[in-house]
Structure 1
């Protein structure tokens, strides 16, 4: 019993899922010819250990077997187009060319317009940035100038105070020399 189960499970591993389903659904063996198509024939060969084998037989187009009807038909003869038809085709092609040319020119004009808008916007941004930078620089220069002036005024104030102090010291010295003198 074990050997039968192991042989069966080994066989299941070798079979494809499709073959397994087909063998479960159709218990009767397949006929030798598996399928016949217009230009090929598929025959089933004996089952092998690795699965099923098929033989595909391609039929040549010149096969004149009685089973197959002769379907070699000549292509329909094309009639020569008239001068009027050729003229209409030529005019239609010219209209298509002109239409495509107009469309391409319109796309180019639209692209140029968008490029101009982008360039104008970039120039505005650049001008605004330049103005803002110039204003900041001007403001910083004013602050530096004010700072310098404030320091200069502070130095002048200290100098005046020192001069006043020196004058007071001289005055006191003169008074002291007069009193002691």
Structure 2
């Protein structure tokens, strides 16, 4: 549908140009009330205050009518082998530049990852050292507490032995006096 509308627009442009050319060859006034061009018929309607009015009658295209005319695309200039080679070299250079930029970004990313990993390892080592130092300190405290406990037990034992020795001596003295 859109192609048909475009084709009819093109034909309308041709009509005005055609009527101008025809008026140059044929100075006699033509009957502008009706005009036929291929599968379009143009009829003039009574003039209005705003200007001229036309009625377009579109006929179904006949099988022999030529295909809708389209604007020809501008011809491409002939491309030489040197131009193609230059374009290929420029594309290769752009690819190399892009590849080097990507490699540079990857290297920077790897370096950043190494730095982060190194920092994490250092923090882990510091944490391990602190944990080890705390554990050693705790074990020393436990050892000191155990030694203090054993020393207090030993002292009580020695006190009990002294008391027992005093009690034995008193008993011996009492037996000697009584006996």
Shift in Å, 1:59: 6.3
Instruction: Give the corresponding residue for 1:61.
Output: 6
Could you say if the C-alpha distance between residues 108 and 64 of structure 1 is closer, same or farther in structure 2, counting changes exceeding 3 Å? closer
CA-atom RMSD in angstroms: 2.2
Instruction: Give the corresponding residue for 1:178.
Output: 176
Matched, 1:150 2:148: yes
Rg larger in structure:
2
Aligned length: 125
Relative contact order, higher structure (CA 8 A, sep 6+): 2
TM-score (norm: length of structure 1): 0.63
Q: Secondary structure at the match of 1:79?
A: coil
Could you say if the C-alpha distance between residues 65 and 97 of structure 1 is closer, same or farther in structure 2, counting changes exceeding 3 Å? closer
Instruction: Give the corresponding residue for 1:94.
Output: 92
Q: Secondary structure at the match of 2:123?
A: helix
Deviations 1:13-55 (A, max 9, x none): xxxxxxxxxxxxxxxxxxxxxxxxxx99xxxxxxxxxxxxxxx
Deviant stretches of 4+, over 6 Å: none
Where structure 2 has 5 or more consecutive residues not aligned to the other structure, the ranges are 15-68
TM-score (norm: length of structure 2): 0.64
Q: Secondary structure at the match of 2:13?
A: coil
